[in-house]
């Protein structure tokens, strides 16, 4: 994002040909904060004491475990075992501060604390612990096709739009999370920290409204402002309401139009989870 100030600055600099190259650099400094120049050479994590690592563990429990699981082996977010070894300390720092995909930027802890967390995550060690889905993804793809998932979800652009895209779901969610989610989608809905009104859960907020003349509608909220609310039902129909014409508006966080798939056999469920886990997009 280029602010007026940086454009102005860039223009001033452009005035003097010798400084022309500094223009874009000046603008870049206005961007999101970069990882701090870490104290001298070397790696801030190497300087941590055992007490720092212990602190990092507590901070992890408070700031990361809700998504990455208490032992970091993944849940709503992916397994983090081996991630520091794979992405490097700076790489992990950048993800924590900048967020990525379904992970929001974490700004509740200062830099020193982030390094402590990374120090702890590094102790989780190599990728060996990554949870593997035991099922067969090829059979799972058939289960997906046979159960109408595509009426609501799309993969690589094919399918419905009632629910979220699943194109990279295997990168974002651990198999154990997918498994329990399919059995009880309302219990542990996916979270998106940018939506505080739904306690951080996704934009798929289910709303039930009753009009003054007694008709009721349930759908996923598409839009809402002070005066109007727009819903989309499972059939894909849009409804727009003037709030003054509504008797009640009930928001139902924790409820979802996604059915529970308790009717699947244990094998089908495992294969389906294996298929979903294999969806990682082109990387
Ligand atoms: C609200 C849930 C949530 C919280 C809280 C959260 N994460 Fe994440 N994290 C995710 C999700 C989801 C992804 C996968 C993002 C993607 O690739 O699209 C992710 C990805 C990551 C990755 C990249 C993993 C990889 O294999 O590339 C790292 C590293 C990471 N998180 C570290 C952390 C740390 C450390 C914390 C705590 C300071 C934290 N996260 C807090 C949800 C969360
Ligand atoms: C009637 C529509 C509908 C059908 C059918 C449906 N889903 Fe969903 N699904 C949703 C909605 C809506 C959500 C978002 C959950 C929420 O926040 O309400 C969702 C969420 C999900 C998620 C979690 C996404 C995330 O970001 O964590 C997965 C995984 C998923 N569905 C898989 C499936 C599979 C597999 C099937 C078929 C066996 C299926 N769904 C069938 C509507 C549907």
Q: What is the pLDDT along the chain (283 residues), one digit of tens a residue?
A: 444 444 333 333 333 333 333 333 333 344 454 444 444 456 889 899 999 999 999 999 999 998 888 888 888 888 898 899 888 999 999 999 999 877 889 999 999 999 999 999 999 876 554 567 889 999 999 999 999 999 889 999 999 888 888 998 988 888 888 998 899 887 666 655 444 444 444 567 788 999 999 999 988 888 888 899 988 887 778 899 999 999 999 887 667 778 889 999 999 999 999 999 999 876 5
Q: Cα separation of 230 and 91, whole Å?
A: 40
CA-closest candidate to residue 204, choices 175, 161, 248, 167: 161
∠ Cα 100 220 76 (to 5°): 35
Q: What is the DSSP string of 156-182?
A: TTEE-SSS---TTHHHHS-HHHHHHHH
Instruction: Name the closest-CA residue to atom 36, ligand 1.
Output: 64
Whether pTM exceeds 0.85 = no
- In which element (H, E) is residue 111 found? helix 111-123
Closest atom of ligand 1 relative to the 63 alpha carbon: 37
| Ligand 2 pocket: which of 103, 162, 163 to mutate (most atoms within 8 A of CB) | 163
Residue 59 Cβ contacting ligand 1 at under 6 Å? no
Residue 189 Cβ contacting ligand 2 at under 6 Å? yes
| Ligand 2 pocket: which of 153, 186, 272 to mutate (most atoms within 8 A of CB) | 153
Q: Cα separation of 217 and 239, whole Å?
A: 9
| Ligand 1 pocket: which of 55, 65, 67, 117 to mutate (most atoms within 8 A of CB) | 67
Instruction: Name the closest-CA residue to atom 32, ligand 1.
Output: 96
Residue 170 Cβ contacting ligand 2 at under 6 Å? no
CA-closest candidate to residue 60, choices 37, 36, 84: 84
CA-closest candidate to residue 219, choices 193, 192, 238, 194: 238
Q: Cα separation of 191 and 186, whole Å?
A: 12
Residue 66 Cβ contacting ligand 1 at under 6 Å? yes
Residue 56 Cβ contacting ligand 2 at under 6 Å? no
Q: Which domains does the chain possess?
A: 32-129 (1.10.760.10), 137-191+258-277 (1.10.760.10), 206-251 (2.30.30.100)
DSSP single-letter state for residue 22: H
What tokens appear for 212 in the block? Answer: 């003054």
Q: Cα separation of 242 and 230, whole Å?
A: 9
What tokens appear for 256 in the block? Answer: 């979802």
Instruction: Name the closest-CA residue to atom 11, ligand 2.
Output: 163
């Amino acid at each position: 994002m280029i602010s007026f100030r940086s454009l102005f600055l860039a223009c001033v600099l452009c005035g003097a040909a010798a400084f022309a190259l500094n223009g874009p650099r000046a603008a870049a400094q206005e961007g999101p904060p970069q990882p701090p120049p870490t104290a001298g050479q070397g790696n801030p994590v190497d300087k941590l004491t055992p007490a720092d690592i212990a602190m990092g563990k507590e901070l992890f429990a408070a700031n990361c475990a809700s998504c990455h699981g208490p032992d970091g082996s993944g849940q709503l977010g992916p397994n983090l075992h081996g991630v520091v070894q794979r992405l490097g300390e700076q790489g992990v720092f950048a993800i924590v501060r900048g967020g990525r995909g379904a992970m929001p930027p974490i700004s509740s802890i200062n830099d020193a604390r982030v390094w402590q967390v990374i120090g702890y995550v590094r102790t989780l060690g190599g990728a060996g612990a990554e949870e593997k889905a035991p099922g067969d993804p090829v059979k799972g793809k058939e289960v997906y096709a046979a159960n109408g998932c595509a009426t609501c979800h799309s993969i690589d652009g094919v399918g419905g739009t009632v629910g979220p895209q699943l194109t990279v779901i295997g990168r974002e969610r651990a198999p154990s999370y997918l498994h329990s989610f399919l059995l009880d989608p309302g219990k542990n809905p996916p979270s998106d920290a940018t939506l505080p009104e739904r306690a951080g859960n996704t934009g798929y907020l289910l709303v039930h409204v009753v009009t003054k003349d007694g008709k009721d509608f349930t759908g996923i909220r598409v839009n809402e402002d002070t005066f109007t609310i727009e819903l989309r039902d499972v059939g894909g129909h849009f409804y727009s309401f003037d709030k003054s014409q509504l008797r009640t508006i009930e928001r139902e966080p924790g409820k979802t139009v996604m059915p529970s798939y308790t009717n699947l056999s244990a094998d089908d469920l495992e294969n389906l989870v294996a298929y979903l886990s294999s969806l990682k997009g082109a990387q």
